[in-house]
Amino acid sequence: MMKCESSSSVERLLAKEKVAGPIPVSRSKVKMNIPEEAKNLLEKGIVYLATSDGKNPNVTVTQSGKIIGPDEILICDCGMRLAKENIQKNRQVSLASYDEKNGIGFKGFGVATYYDSGEFLDIAKRRLEGEQYKPKGAVIIKLENIFKIE
């Protein structure tokens, strides 16, 4: 039997994290904006995308993020077969990025949609123009909240 952390343990863990901007801890419909500091890291750094089919988790590593709206990020699919399958079954995802040199990172939670044609795939192709990898699709993540990790 798995042991669940008490709410006070969870509260202590959350207290260590600084919320980046006016973002609620709950997954409400409140409008949020990705902070500038997070935008730079998500577009230029390594992004870890976590998905699940509802039973089995998966983490994909990418360096192909592009902010496309105040609360949306595009991730290029250059071989994310399992992540694609998971998103088609369960759209809830999380992502994280960390800059070790500056000791700062962000983690976020949101809803993903997968596109294998259209405008978002075109954006992904432009994002990776001249690169070794070619996108097969694009994942759009509408972030519901994002937390700063220091």
Res 134 pLDDT > 60: yes
| Mean pLDDT (whole number) for 17-21 | 43
- The pLDDT, as a whole number, for residue 150 is 81
CATH superfamily for 22-149 is Electron Transport, Fmn-binding Protein; Chain A (2.30.110.10)
Q: Which residues make Cβ contacts (< 8 Å) with residue 87, sequence separation at least 6?
A: 51, 93, 112, 113, 114, 139
Percent of the chain with pLDDT over 90: 67
- Stated pTM of the model: 0.78
